[in-house]
Amino acid sequence: MTVITRFAPSPTGDLHIGGARTALFAWAYARNQKGKFILRIEDTDLDRSTPEAIEVIINGMNWLGLHHDGPIHYQTDRMDRYKAVIQSLLENNQAYPCYSSKEELDALRESQMKEGLKPKYDGRWRPEPGKKLPEKPLDIHPVIRFRNPSNGHVSWNDRVKGDITFNNEELDDFIISRSDGTPTYNFCVVVDDWDMNITDVIRGDDHVNNTPRQINLFKALNAPVPNYAHLSMILGSDGQKLSKRHGSVSVLEYQKKGYLPQAIKNYLARLGWSHGDDEIFSMVQFSQWFDLGNITSSPAQFNDEKLNWLNNQYIREMDDESIFNLMIDFFKFNDIDELSKQKLIKGIALYKERVNNLVELSNQILFIVEQPHIMPELIQKYLDADRLNLVKGLNSLLDEVKWEDDEINSLIKKFVAANQLKFPLIAMPLRVILTGSDHTPSIASIMSIIGREETKQRILKYIN
C-alpha cells in the first residue's frame, strides 16, 4: 500500500514554525516510504480563512522546498461531497438534527458545571427506539450531530505517543454540520482523509482530543482508519509554548531575516527527532533516515542560538556568488554595477563566517559600496589627533604599494615596526574610518577590497 501523508493547515494566519515542522515530518515520512505528500488547505472557516494566509502557506512551503504531490486541495471546493456524506449519515441514522438553541445549551452546561460534571451534550435530540423527542421549534435551523457510540471505548496506537484510549462516554455527539449548513472541522478532516486515501496522519498533539471522534466517524463510514502520529509541541526557551513572545515564530519572518531554507529545515528536523549525534545533514539524508519511531514524545525546545549556529554553518558552506545572488533582495540599494558586485562577493567571502543570517551579512558589508556612517562614540574612542596622525603617515605610503592583501599587510607591518607602535594603534582607526566598525576581519583585506582610491578618499575625510 502506498503511504500517503498530508499537511492540512487552516489558513488563518502565518505559517508558524510548529506548522512547518509538522509539514516537514509528514513530507519526510512520505519521501522515506516512497509515498505521496498531499497539501490540503482547510478553509471551511470562512470568517477566519483569508486568501493572504493561503498565499503565505503556499509561498512558505515553496521556499522551504516541501513540494507536495498532486494538486493543492481546498476544502471549500468539496462542499457538495461533504453534504452528500452528511445526507448518507442521516439516512443511516448515524447522524441526526439537533434543534437545541444556544440558550438551552448554555443552561445545560451551567447546570452540569454546578453539579461538578464535565459539560457535555445530553443527547436530548438523539433518536432512540421508544424515545419521544421534543417538539421541533419552527424558528431554529438545526445543527447535525454525529451519533457517537454511547459505550465502549476507542483506542489507537499512536506512532509517537503509544497507546491512547478514550471512553466513548466522555465524547459528545459532536456537531458535523452547523445550522447554516456548513460542515465542521472534525467532519471534513475525516471525509478528506478517507477520500484522499491518507494512510498516516502526522499532526500536532493539540489534535489528540479530536482523534477519538474522528476514528468513530471513520468507523461509522466504514472507512479505513489511518495511523496517527501526534507531534509534541514546541516550547520556547522559557519552557512555555512557543509564541510571538519568544520572537520570530513565522517562517516568513525567518525568510525576511535571511535564514537559508536548508538551515531552517535542518533545524526543524532536529526538533523532536534525532539520528545519533548527527546535527548537520541534507534533506536527502533526512528523508532516508526519518522514521516515526525516532520521534520523541516529550516537547522539543526551540533554541535561537542553535538555529543561528546552523544557519552560519550553511552560509559558510555556500559559494560566495550564490550568496550574493540570494542577497540582492537584502541590499538596501539598487543597480549594482559589475565592479561593485565583484567587491561585494569578495566581502561576502571575508565576512560570511561571522554572521548568523544574510541580513546581518548585508549590513556588515554595506560599507564596501557605501560611505560608512561612523558613530560619535567610535570617533571619540579611535579618531583622536595622535591616531589620525599615524593614519596620515600611513596614507602617504599607500601609492607605493602593490594593491594586494599581502603587500598591504606587509606595508602596515613595516609602518608599525618603523614607528615602534602596537598594531591596534593604526589598525583600529583605519577600521573605523573605512568600515564604520571596530570589529572587522583583516584590515589589509578590507583595504584591498574597497580599492586604493576609495581607501585614500575615506581617509582624507578625517585628516588634513
Residue ranges binding ligand GLU (CB under 6 A) = 8-10, 42, 189, 203, 207
Enumerate the β-bridge partners of residue 41.
Answer: 74
Q: Shortest gap between Cβ of 179 and ligand GLU (angstroms)?
A: 22
Q: Shortest gap between Cβ of 405 and ligand GLU (angstroms)?
A: 54
Taking the least distance from each CB to ligand GLU, the nearer of 42 and 158 is 42
Taking the least distance from each CB to ligand GLU, the nearer of 229 and 264 is 229
Q: Shortest gap between Cβ of 189 and ligand GLU (angstroms)?
A: 5
Q: Judge contact between 11 and 41, C-beta under 8 A.
A: yes
Rounded to whole angstroms, what are the CA distances from 360 to 206, 208, 352?
A: 36, 41, 10
Beta strands across the sheet bearing 175-177 = 95-98, 143-146, 175-177
350-356, long-range: CB within 8 Å, 24+ apart, which pairs? Answer: 350/441, 350/442, 350/445, 350/446, 350/449, 351/441, 352/315, 352/316, 352/318, 352/320, 352/323, 353/312, 353/316, 354/441, 355/312, 355/315, 356/308, 356/311, 356/312
Nearest to 102 by CA among 201, 204, 175, 27: 175
Q: Shortest gap between Cβ of 50 and ligand GLU (angstroms)?
A: 14
User: How many CA atoms lie within 13 Å of 155's alpha carbon, on the beta-carbon side?
Assistant: 7
Taking the least distance from each CB to ligand GLU, the nearer of 16 and 346 is 16
Taking the least distance from each CB to ligand GLU, the nearer of 10 and 285 is 10
Q: Judge contact between 160 and 133, C-beta under 8 A.
A: no
Taking the least distance from each CB to ligand GLU, the nearer of 72 and 336 is 72
Taking the least distance from each CB to ligand GLU, the nearer of 10 and 179 is 10
- Write the CB contacts of 121 (distance below 8 Å, at least 6 apart in sequence): 98, 100, 105, 108, 145, 172, 173
Q: Shortest gap between Cβ of 254 and ligand GLU (angstroms)?
A: 20
Taking the least distance from each CB to ligand GLU, the nearer of 42 and 360 is 42
Taking the least distance from each CB to ligand GLU, the nearer of 204 and 424 is 204
Q: Shortest gap between Cβ of 427 and ligand GLU (angstroms)?
A: 55
Q: Shortest gap between Cβ of 139 and ligand GLU (angstroms)?
A: 33
Rounded to whole angstroms, what are the CA distances from 263 to 203, 231, 282?
A: 22, 21, 9
Q: Measured at the alpha carbon of residue 207, what is the angle toward residues 5 and 251, in degrees to the nearest 5?
A: 65
Neighbours of 407 (CB within 10 A): 14
Taking the least distance from each CB to ligand GLU, the nearer of 31 and 213 is 213
Q: Shortest gap between Cβ of 238 and ligand GLU (angstroms)?
A: 24
Q: Shortest gap between Cβ of 68 and ligand GLU (angstroms)?
A: 14
Taking the least distance from each CB to ligand GLU, the nearer of 5 and 311 is 5
Q: Shortest gap between Cβ of 449 and ligand GLU (angstroms)?
A: 48
Taking the least distance from each CB to ligand GLU, the nearer of 193 and 360 is 193
Q: Judge contact between 60 and 252, C-beta under 8 A.
A: yes
Interatomic CA distance for residues 6 and 61, integer angstroms: 13
C-alpha dihedral sign at 12, 16, 20, 21: negative
Neighbours of 232 (CB within 10 A): 17
Nearest to 432 by CA among 363, 364, 375: 375
Q: Measured at the alpha carbon of residue 352, what is the angle toward residues 429 and 431, in degrees to the nearest 5?
A: 5
Q: Shortest gap between Cβ of 356 and ligand GLU (angstroms)?
A: 30
Taking the least distance from each CB to ligand GLU, the nearer of 73 and 203 is 203
Nearest to 401 by CA among 389, 390, 412: 412
Q: Shortest gap between Cβ of 307 and ligand GLU (angstroms)?
A: 23
